[in-house]
Structure 1
């Protein structure tokens, strides 16, 4: 795996899905298993006696290991404990509906029998076995949809593959020959030998042209028309969108999305990475993503013997136990009707039903602002006998609808307790940012108007909910929002960055609202506690205070007066512009 930001490319948007839509099964699944397994499981994060700090499957590239040296690892690959039935059964126990296995990763080694060359698990190892045959059989038998990961661009073994310039001079590479001689023949094998394939999960679209990517897509669809193509085929040609690895968006996304994520901090097995995410973290992350319109593709990295680490097994089974009780609030659901997230939890939707996912015990009288639709009943999921009294009113000053639920007798069950609201119609909500019951207001990027003092903005609001290419002081973001309580509010601006690269920081921003102006340089005053902060730190800068004399609608504008841009405009993870997330308004006590 490699974190790649492709959200700047135009992304397809979600449209009403007909019954025969190939994406229907994927949308309803919501939760899938990723499996990274290959020769990199043999060194397992240790090279020449030294533990490496980076993700395990990138060892060949990071250490610039010669092709001949790396290929010799195949002679050691003999997974005595590989059990396809157990792997698929684990996916089922976890509540995962599809499985994506690395058929060929960036090291170029095929984890199945290929006729293209002998650099594959059958011909080059003493195991002489094709694990994809077993996995295809078990997926059919156990009802899990089989999908293949295939690295279509990076291939450090092939002379024409991208990014091996220590064995093969970059100037001599011929990508068209690589596609013709290796990529398409191997895709033909994967799509004709193992039965129906749910998806080819392409990765890292770094050097291929749009025409080349389009050619790959057509090739897949010709062989299996209903096989999905992941967003990392590049150039906006995927059937759905993929943000960067382990990325959690700040609010609801538009269109179809999937976040791929690790159970610890590596994809391929490493002996010394024991920073396992808790089951509670995995469950809340699943809820968070589904509430925002994204599937959760969660990785396991079996060792070279084919054994899935015990902490992975334990945690996945715990997630499955939660889904056994609460799966109706996940599978087949749509995202929250609200664009923003909530401090108390998240919301998912299924027709005329809203599911409130509480991350902690709610107050006895719980309030939700902005739901216009009449609530018929409120019940704890899975306990139809226990109904909770509801009351819907309208705030006299602002006209804001307010729902109150009396949760007397609700038993909170960690880590997430779900309450189902049955509505009189499909949910209808106030579209603009609202003051929440905890009195805060959060202005996320995805709810802003983008404007410019120039002819046209150079920046944009990315499909992933962050700003992209914000490199001009002419551009601005503006929000209308509703306050119920006038008064003084602390103002914090939140920016972020990918954890593998330095934070850009140092931008001077101007905020204006109600005739008031705040100007400040973005400094790292605090890293906000958040699910998002683990890989994309939510960096808060305190800008001071705004005073709002009245309740009702207000407007706030954010504009840069000076941008501190890196000398190198773009990196693998960022376009070099400011990555703005949101503004938080918190009332002064």
Structure 2
């Protein structure tokens, strides 16, 4: 092959990969969408719900892949799924009491089972379970009644449908998977998304996951994309049906055109402590959301005892807000439709803390300093809130050089002893004012 031919071939391949990664071309968010983005940015706290027939096995939402359960065996699970204790209004009340502003729930996860009344397949909660009712419809009605926004998680990958072909990186050991047509799979997804955005009222957002399944992986980083996800068609469909509906995609790369917020899985923005997350260089300008589990699992896991403490959870939302990000905190309901008591207690503790200190979180933007392990800062107008996350008599806020009017302990008029130097702000914290979870200092700027 001649050098020029090689160059042309490489350019064609490069352009082809770019097209595969493109989103909605020439996307201009509507006024309703921009308003929704601002609401989302101010909301700061939501509930993530991973729930499906996998909850019966009590081993997380990836159990089909992790145990290589054959397709025909896994398809027996819906016959045992009868969540008669599910109470949408009770869930929504719990969310409000926790200080959360929205719910994101799995409409279809990687196992391919739909948790709503879809006409695109009978492999769904209405047609294939003894329960026979649409839990998403019940939740949508309860959310509307209580003014809680509703987002739908939607899996791009599918271990059940033959048309999810070519295969991705996961599910390769599951027996019984067939071959089909990728174009039919895209049409299937478009049909389901149309249903979700037509039959459930105003939907605040679609939370995509699974893009990474079709990317090559060498154990350290993702490589080339193997398929065309048709994001131009899918994103346009969503925005045409509901212009305010926000689109996010858990692809672990920089935002794609047509997306409205950027999420970070089990990580603060750009930290990438997981090794598969979004790097600092891929942080965009869209509103942020961090998603994290309340224990160690997304779906119900009977043996998971890694329940996070009140201190861990409060400090996580504080650090997220310090990045200007929301926290989407996950629970995995049990197969009967109940949420574990210890998780409900954790959410209650979060609500109690936010009722007292929510002013320092809701409606704020990232502050001028941090976050670090010692502190995070948030800001609202001319007020900066310094969240001290360790009990120390002296805390130094590096690089802080704003002109201040006063510094007080939050919720009081008691002044904080402080001094400036060339490198930042030194705070001297009284021992009797130190909080074991979060000592909040309020700085008023001139």
Aligned to 1:243: 264
Could you say what secondary structure the match of 1:420 adopts?
strand
- Pick from 30, 37, 45 the counterpart of residue 51 of structure 2: 37
CA distance in structure 1 between the partners assigned to 2:254 and 2:231 by the alignment: 7
- Pick from 371, 374, 383 the counterpart of residue 403 of structure 2: 374
Task: Tell me if 1:359 matches 2:415.
Answer: no
CA distance in structure 2 between the partners assigned to 1:343 and 1:212 by the alignment: 41
Aligned to 2:14: none
CA distance in structure 2 between the partners assigned to 1:373 and 1:39 by the alignment: 54
| Contact 2:115–2:124, Cα closer than 8 Å, also in 1 | yes
Per-residue CA deviation, residues 37-74 of structure 1 (Å, 9 max, x unaligned), is: 100011112xxxxxxxxxx1111122222222111111
Aligned to 2:204: 198
CA distance in structure 1 between the partners assigned to 2:54 and 2:204 by the alignment: 26
- 1:368/1:266 CA distance change after superposition, 3 Å: closer
Aligned to 2:162: 159
Aligned to 1:420: 442
Could you say what secondary structure the match of 2:442 adopts?
strand
- Pick from 283, 296, 306 the counterpart of residue 275 of structure 1: 306
Higher RCO, Cα 8 Å, sep 6+: 2
| Contact 1:375–1:421, Cα closer than 8 Å, also in 2 | yes
Quote the offset at 1:409 in angstroms: 7.5
| Contact 1:79–1:304, Cα closer than 8 Å, also in 2 | yes
Aligned to 2:221: none
Correspondences of 1:290-439 after superposition (within 5 Å): 290-338=321-369, 340-363=370-393, 366-383=395-412, 385-392=413-420, 394=421, 400=422, 402-408=424-430, 411-424=433-446
CA distance in structure 1 between the partners assigned to 2:304 and 2:430 by the alignment: 44
- Which runs of 5 or more structure 1 residues have no equivalent in the other structure? 1-8, 12-16, 46-55, 395-399, 425-589
Per-residue CA deviation, residues 96-127 of structure 1 (Å, 9 max, x unaligned), is: 11100111111111111111121110111111
Quote the offset at 1:25 in angstroms: 1.1
Aligned to 1:176: 183
Could you say what secondary structure the match of 1:110 adopts?
coil
TM-score, normalised by the number of residues in structure 1: 0.62
- Pick from 112, 136, 141 the counterpart of residue 137 of structure 1: 141
Quote the offset at 1:389 in angstroms: 4.6
Aligned to 1:28: 42
- Pick from 129, 141, 152 the counterpart of residue 125 of structure 1: 129
CA distance in structure 1 between the partners assigned to 2:264 and 2:324 by the alignment: 12
By percentage of residues, which structure has more strand? 1
CA distance in structure 2 between the partners assigned to 1:406 and 1:10 by the alignment: 51
| Contact 1:30–1:330, Cα closer than 8 Å, also in 2 | yes
Count of residue pairs brought into register by the alignment: 388
| Contact 2:159–2:177, Cα closer than 8 Å, also in 1 | no
Q: Which moved more, 1:60-69 or 1:113-122?
A: 60-69
- 1:63/1:143 CA distance change after superposition, 3 Å: same
- Which runs of 5 or more structure 2 residues have no equivalent in the other structure? 1-20, 24-29, 215-225, 273-279
- 1:203/1:84 CA distance change after superposition, 3 Å: same
| Contact 1:200–1:229, Cα closer than 8 Å, also in 2 | yes
Quote the offset at 1:140 in angstroms: 1.3
By percentage of residues, which structure has more helix? 2
Aligned to 1:150: 154
Quote the offset at 1:390 in angstroms: 4.4
- 1:98/1:216 CA distance change after superposition, 3 Å: same
CA distance in structure 1 between the partners assigned to 2:352 and 2:300 by the alignment: 25
- 1:151/1:354 CA distance change after superposition, 3 Å: same
Quote the offset at 1:297 in angstroms: 0.9
Could you say what secondary structure the match of 2:444 adopts?
strand
